[in-house]
């Protein structure tokens, strides 16, 4: 029979040497290490974890130690069960019993392990723990239901979005996003808007607002787009995240609303991530009305922003930017911007860039030569001279360049798909078809501002046609 004595003093003094192969020595040794693994000392926890990994306790041993008198041992045993994978029935029963332990730390550890191991029979126990007086136990129960599901369990968790305990709000919104419980989205949006009103005075709310914002994206709640646009304009700490959310939702109506913000940031040196995300947003939703503004960022002081602008003009095939892109490829002050400019130039000009690419193939910058090899690889099908240049680059002194040339020669370019023309778009003049997505975004934003009825009907007609 396994030993079930108390090891309360185990974490207060060094453990005597015991034989881990002898059951009479193995159980005290396991108990000592499990208690150590519950310590607040990170170094002690790391050491105990390494020793427990070597000892490899079995589910039966941990189930037995869940009955120990020392709560540190019990919580450690409950927590370690999550490392064992599928558990036998007796171990699951012991873990479920631990959920009703008098010590809240043991309950937390048991709920956490049951959730990670996806033990569905624990769902009812977790539901009971939602009513516990200890907020830490409630937190663990919310976590467990978020892992176990099904999605309908979210109905039990919505009320915790308004909890006075901030950690319970975080647990609830995380679980609701994991469950994909879409009926919670309006409540999450309401809480996000309330939190944003406090950000000016309480910056501690920033992390909470981030969680709520990310949850709305996970739930694909497009009704939150106007709020995200407002946050991008006004909330300094959240602007970048709001723009990223709009990108993930492919919110076309956000582009015309945020062009003024992008223009304001042209002279800024402190908002590199925000600028890059805004530039990417314009291309993701294909808002070509912003093309002149985006093109202006090719001369921005920050190299990272210049790179983002280069990728944008390349994605749009903005031929008007070709001259400045060529200048950047030859003369930009950043060694990391020049190769991006080389790629963009080749994308913009195609075979017309061959003479420039031949010059770049002997450029002193290794990154430029590698980019040149990749660009030449895209031209192999239409420009035979590209193969001659690539063959010469196979002998480049830089291994990375030679490898890029070799990979370019081995690739067989696939023919570009021909764009299909929708029936309605045939009525559009050919010179305007590329602008159709931008027009849709502009008109959607106008429609969202609730114009007079006649204008609204006209906008609906145009949008239906452009769709």
Checking if the pLDDT of 421 tops 70, the result is: no
pLDDT band at 382 (very low <50, low <70, confident <90, very high): confident
pLDDT band at 420 (very low <50, low <70, confident <90, very high): very low
Checking if the pLDDT of 417 tops 80, the result is: no
User: Residues 349-373: pLDDT tens digits?
Assistant: 999 999 999 999 999 999 999 999 9
Contacts of 350 (CB under 8 A, 6+ apart): 379, 382
In Å, the largest CA–CA distance within the chain is 88
Q: Helix H segments across 130-269? A: 135-148, 154-157, 166-179, 185-196, 206-218, 225-234, 239-248, 254-264
User: Residues 232-284: pLDDT tens digits?
Assistant: 998 888 899 999 999 999 999 999 999 999 999 988 878 899 999 999 999 99
pLDDT of residue 25: 67
Least confident piece of the model among 5-9, 18-22, 76-80, 257-261 = 5-9
Q: What structural domains and CATH numbers belong to the chain? A: 1-125 (no CATH), 317-412 (1.25.10.10), 435-466 (no CATH)
Alpha carbon 398 to its chain centroid, in Å, reads 35
More confident residue, 384 or 311: 311
pLDDT of residue 160: 96
Query: Buried (b) or exposed (e) across 153-174, using 16+ Cβ within 10 A?
Result: bbebbbebbebeeeebbbbbbb
User: Residues 55-114: pLDDT tens digits?
Assistant: 999 999 999 999 999 999 999 999 999 998 789 999 999 999 999 999 999 999 999 999
User: Residues 123-132: pLDDT tens digits?
Assistant: 999 999 999 9
pLDDT of residue 176: 97
Checking if the pLDDT of 15 tops 70, the result is: no
Angle at 328 (CA atoms; ends 324, 329), nearest 5 degrees: 115
Mean predicted lDDT score pLDDT of the chain: 86
Checking if the pLDDT of 145 tops 60, the result is: yes
pLDDT band at 12 (very low <50, low <70, confident <90, very high): very low
When pLDDT is averaged across residues 172-177 and rounded to a whole number, the result is: 96
Percent of the chain with pLDDT over 90: 67
Q: How many CA atoms lie within 13 A of 328 on its CB side?
A: 29
Structural contact between residues 148 and 125, judged by C-beta atoms closer than 8 angstroms: no
When pLDDT is averaged across residues 133-151 and rounded to a whole number, the result is: 95
Checking if the pLDDT of 20 tops 80, the result is: no
pLDDT of residue 10: 39
Residue 308: both structure tokens together:
């983002």
Checking if the pLDDT of 6 tops 50, the result is: no
Report CA dihedral (398, 356, 388, 393) to the nearest 10 degrees.
0
pLDDT of residue 19: 52
Q: pTM for the full model?
A: 0.77
pLDDT of residue 21: 56
């Amino acid at each position: 029979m396994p030993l079930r004595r108390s090891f309360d003093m185990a974490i207060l003094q060094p453990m005597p040497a015991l034989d881990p192969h002898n059951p009479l020595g193995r159980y005290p040794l396991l108990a000592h290490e499990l208690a150590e693994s519950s310590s607040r000392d990170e170094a002690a926890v790391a050491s105990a974890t390494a020793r427990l990994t070597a000892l490899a306790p079995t589910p039966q041993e941990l189930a037995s130690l869940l009955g120990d008198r020392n709560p540190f041992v019990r919580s450690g045993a409950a927590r370690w069960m999550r490392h064992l994978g599928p558990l036998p029935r007796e171990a699951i029963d012991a873990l479920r019993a631990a959920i009703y332990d008098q010590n809240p730390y043991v309950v937390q550890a048991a709920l956490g392990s049951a959730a990670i191991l996806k033990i569905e029979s624990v769902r009812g126990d977790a539901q009971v723990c939602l009513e516990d007086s200890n907020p830490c136990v409630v937190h663990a129960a919310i976590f467990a239901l978020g892992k176990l599901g099904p999605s309908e369990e979210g109905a039990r968790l919505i009320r915790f979005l308004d909890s006075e305990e901030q950690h319970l709000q975080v647990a609830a919104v995380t679980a609701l996003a994991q469950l994909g419980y879409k009926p919670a989205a309006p409540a999450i949006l309401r809480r996000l808007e309330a939190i944003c009103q406090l950000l000016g005075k309480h910056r501690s709310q920033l992390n909470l607002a981030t969680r709520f914002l990310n949850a709305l994206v996970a739930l694909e709640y497009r009704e939150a787009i106007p709020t995200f646009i407002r946050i991008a304009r006004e909330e300094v700490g959240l602007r970048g995240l709001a723009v990223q959310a709009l990108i993930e939702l492919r919110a076309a109506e956000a582009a015309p609303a945020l062009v003024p913000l992008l223009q304001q940031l042209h002279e800024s040196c402190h908002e590199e991530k925000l600028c890059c995300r805004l530039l990417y947003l314009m291309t993701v939703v294909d808002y070509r009305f912003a093309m002149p503004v985006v093109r202006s960022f090719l001369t921005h002081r920050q190299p990272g922003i210049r790179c983002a602008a280069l990728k944008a003009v390349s994605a749009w095939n903005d031929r008007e930017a070709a001259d400045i892109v060529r200048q950047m490829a030859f003369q930009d002050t950043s060694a990391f911007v020049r190769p991006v400019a080389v790629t963009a130039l080749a994308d913009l000009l195609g075979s017309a860039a061959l003479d420039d690419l031949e010059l770049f193939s002997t450029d002193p910058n290794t990154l430029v030569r590698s980019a040149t090899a990749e660009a030449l690889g895209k031209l192999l099908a239409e420009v035979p001279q590209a193969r001659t240049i690539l063959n010469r680059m196979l002998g480049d002194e830089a291994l990375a360049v030679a490898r890029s040339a070799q990979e370019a020669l081995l690739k067989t370019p696939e023919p570009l798909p021909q764009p299909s023309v929708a029936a309605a778009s045939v009525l559009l003049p050919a010179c305007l078809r590329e602008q159709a997505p931008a027009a849709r975004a502009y008109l959607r934003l106008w429609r969202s501002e609730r114009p007079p009825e006649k204008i609204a009907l006209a906008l609906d007609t145009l949008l239906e046609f452009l769709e």
